[in-house]
Chain A
Amino acid sequence: MNIAWLSYPPTVFWTLAGLFALLSAATLIITLMRLADRSRDMHELRQRVRTWWIMIATFAVVLGSASLWRPAPYVLFGFMSFIALKEFLTMVPTRRVDRPVFMIAYLAIPMQYVWASSHAYHGLFQMSLFVYVCPLIVIVMLINQRTEGFVTAFGTVLCGLLMTVYSLSHLAHFFALPAAANPQGGAAGFVLYVIALTQGNDVAQYVSGKCFGRRRIIPLVSPNKTWGGLIGGVAITTIASALIAPYLTPFSTMGAITLGVLIGITGFFGDVFVSAIKRDVGVKDASTFLPGHGGMLDRVDSLTITAPLFFHLTYFFVYMQGGLV
C-alpha cells in the first residue's frame, strides 16, 4: 500500500488506519464534550490527544519511509533514546566531574544504533554497551580520581543507558533482520505490534483502573495503580493481541495470548519502574517534551521492559527456530 512516497505492508497500513480512526473518535468525543459543557477544563486531555496525533503521525511516516530511506527508523528511535537519556540525566543527582562520562553516554547512542542497523553487527549490538562502553566509562571515572559517590555515579549512568538506549534500540534492530520472518507485516509489523500493545496497555490499565480500581498494588511507589487496573488492562491487552497478531505477526493464537499477558504484566512493571525513579528524585514529569504526557521517559516507560523482552522472544521463536539466523 502506498501513499505518496510512503509504502506499507497492507496489514500495517490498515492497523495504522485503525489507530487514526481511534484518534479521530477521541478528538470528536472531546470536541462534543466541550461543546456540551464549556465550563469543564479539558486543556490537559486535549493537549494529550493532540500530542498522540503528532506521535502516531511521526511513527506512521517513519514506518512508511523505511523502505525508501533505510536510516529512518534508526534516526527516530535514536532520537527518542537521546531525549529520554537527557531527561534521565537531568533529573537524577550527578557530579560535575562526570561531565565527560555523560558525553560518552550520549555518544553511545549513535554507536548502538549503527550496530542495530545491520544483522552482521548483531553481536556488537547486543554486547558493545557492556564490553566497550562500560569499561571506557570506568576508565574515564578513574582518571578523574574522585571516589566519593563513585558507585552511585557509575550505577546511575549504566541505569540510564540500559533504560533509554539499550532497550529502545531493540525496536530499531527489527528492521535489520531478514524480512522473511514475517511475510505479512515485515519488520514494521513486529514493531507496530509491540508498540501499539504496550501503549494500548497503558491506556487500558488506566481506564480499567478508573472503572474497577479499588485495592492498591504498590501504594508506596505509585498510589494510582490498582489490582482492578492491572487485571482489566492485561485482559484487554491479551484480547487485543489475539485480534491483531494474525495480521501483523506470524504468531499462533497461543503465542499471541502468551505475548499479550507478558506485555500486559511487564508493561506495568516498566511503568512503575520509571515512577519509582521519579519518586526517588522527587519530580512529577521527566520534562515537558510531550505536552499533556510529560517527558519522553514518561511515554516510553513501559517499552523499556516490553521492547527488549519481545525482541528476544521473537528472535528465539521466530528467527532462530525458523532457521532464518
Chain B
Amino acid sequence: MIYYILRALFHVLLIRPFMYVWVGFNVKHGGRLPQNGPAIIVSNHNSHLDTLTLEILFPLRFLRKIRPVAAADYFLRNRILKWFTVDVMRIIPVERRGKGGADPLAPCHEALARGHVLIIYPEGSRGEPGKMAEFKRGISWLATQHPEVPIYPICLRGLEKILPKGSWLPIPFFCDVAVGEPMFGTGNREDFLHQLEKRMHDLAEEIKVEHWI
C-alpha cells in the first residue's frame, strides 16, 4: 500500500506535470484503451520515457494494475535501482537469456491471473532510434497461453527525440501515441507474431513524425 501511494505521488508530482507540460503528446484512438485487466500492452521501445508515457494514458486509480515487464540484468543492476523499479514502479523482472529449467515468464502468468495489465516491449531493448527491430518470441508464448487476454498494440513516436538512448537531458517535443484494436492469441505463434508486427507497422504509418535528418 505504501509503495502504491509512493508510485501515485511520483506520478502526480513529477511524471504527469513533466509529461503534460514539458513533453506533451497527441493520442490517437485513445478510446480503444482497455478499461480493465487482465490485458497486455505491446509497444515499440526507443526511450526510457516509453513506460511513463504508456502509464499516463490510464487514470491514476488504474496505476496499481500496470506492470511493465523489464530486463532483470539492466534494471536490477544495483540496490537503489532495484528498489525503485521493483517496489515503486512494480516492474516484472525477466531474464533476457533463459537459464533453462524454470519458465522465465512465470511471473507474467501470475500477474495476468491477478488481473494486471502487462507492458511488454517485444523488440527486447531500446535499439536504434526510431527504427523498429524484429519482435522477440516471448509475447507469442504469452498470447497462446492466454488466448482470452486482449493484447493492445500501441505505437509510440517522437519519444526517441526527447530522450534518446544514451542521453540524460529530455528536450521538449510533442510525441505521438496510436492505440490499436485489441488482438487475441491464436494457436499459431509464428502467425500471431507476424500479425502483431504488421499491426504495429500500420499504426506507425498513422502517426508519421519528423525524424532526425
Residues of A within 8 A of B (CB): 82-83, 86-87, 89-96, 99, 102-103, 106, 149, 281, 287-289
A288 and B210 form a contact (CB under 8 A) = no
A106 and B213 form a contact (CB under 8 A) = no
A293 to chain B, nearest CB (A): 14
Which of B67-75, B119-127, B137-145, B170-178 faces chain A?
Answer: B170-178
Interface membership of B153, Cβ < 8 A: no
B24 and A281 form a contact (CB under 8 A) = no
B158 and A99 form a contact (CB under 8 A) = no
Q: Nearest A residue to B158 by beta-carbon distance?
A: A90
B24 and A102 form a contact (CB under 8 A) = no
Q: Hey, which chain B residues are within 8 Å of A94, CB to CB?
A: 161, 210, 212-213
B169 and A99 form a contact (CB under 8 A) = yes
Q: Hey, which chain B residues are within 8 Å of A93, CB to CB?
A: 210, 213
Known: A90-B158, A288-B26. A106 touches B172 (CB 8 A): yes
Q: Which of B164, B167, B210 meets A90, CB within 8 Å?
A: B210
A99 and B171 form a contact (CB under 8 A) = yes
A292 to B44, CA, bound (A): 29
B117 to chain A, nearest CB (A): 25
B169 and A90 form a contact (CB under 8 A) = no
A152 to chain B, nearest CB (A): 8
Residues of B150-181 whose CB lies within 8 A of A: 158, 161, 164, 167, 169, 171-174
A93 to B213, CA, bound (A): 6
Q: Nearest A residue to B172 by beta-carbon distance?
A: A86
Q: Which of A87, A95, A287, A289 meets B212, CB within 8 Å?
A: A95
A90 and B212 form a contact (CB under 8 A) = no
A295 to chain B, nearest CB (A): 8
Q: Which of B26, B27, B158, B171 meets A102, CB within 8 Å?
A: B171
B126 to chain A, nearest CB (A): 15
At the interface, is chain B mostly helix, strand, loop or mixed? Answer: loop
A92 to B129, CA, bound (A): 18
Other A-B pairs beyond A86-B172, A93-B210, A287-B174, 4, CB < 8 Å: A86-B24, A90-B158, A90-B174, A96-B212
A86 and B213 form a contact (CB under 8 A) = no
Q: Hey, which chain A residues are within 8 Å of B171, CB to CB?
A: 99, 102-103, 106
Interface membership of B9, Cβ < 8 A: no
A267 to B171, CA, bound (A): 31
Known: A86-B174, A287-B174. A92 touches B169 (CB 8 A): no
B20 to chain A, nearest CB (A): 11
A95 to B164, CA, bound (A): 13
A83 to B173, CA, bound (A): 9
A83 and B169 form a contact (CB under 8 A) = no
Name 8 interchain pairs, CB-CB below 8 A, sorted by A. A86-B24, A86-B173, A91-B210, A94-B210, A95-B212, A96-B129, A102-B171, A287-B174
A229 to B167, CA, bound (A): 49
A94 to B162, CA, bound (A): 12
B210 and A103 form a contact (CB under 8 A) = no
A99 and B172 form a contact (CB under 8 A) = no
Contact with A along B19-56 (1 / 0, CB 8 A): 00000101100000000000000000000000000000
Of A82, A86, A87, A103, most B-chain CB atoms within 10 Å:
A86
A149 to B212, CA, bound (A): 11
For the complex of A and B, list the 4 residue pairs with the smallest distance between their C-beta atoms, beginning with the closest. Answer: A96-B212, A90-B174, A288-B26, A93-B213
Q: Hey, which chain A residues are within 8 Å of B212, CB to CB?
A: 94-96
A96 and B164 form a contact (CB under 8 A) = yes
A102 to B172, CA, bound (A): 8
Q: Hey, which chain A residues are within 8 Å of B27, CB to CB?
A: 288
A203 to B210, CA, bound (A): 31
Q: Nearest A residue to B27 by beta-carbon distance?
A: A288
Interface membership of B209, Cβ < 8 A: yes
Q: Nearest B residue to A82 by beta-carbon distance?
A: B172
A90 to B129, CA, bound (A): 16
A91 to B158, CA, bound (A): 10
Q: Hey, which chain A residues are within 8 Å of B164, CB to CB?
A: 96
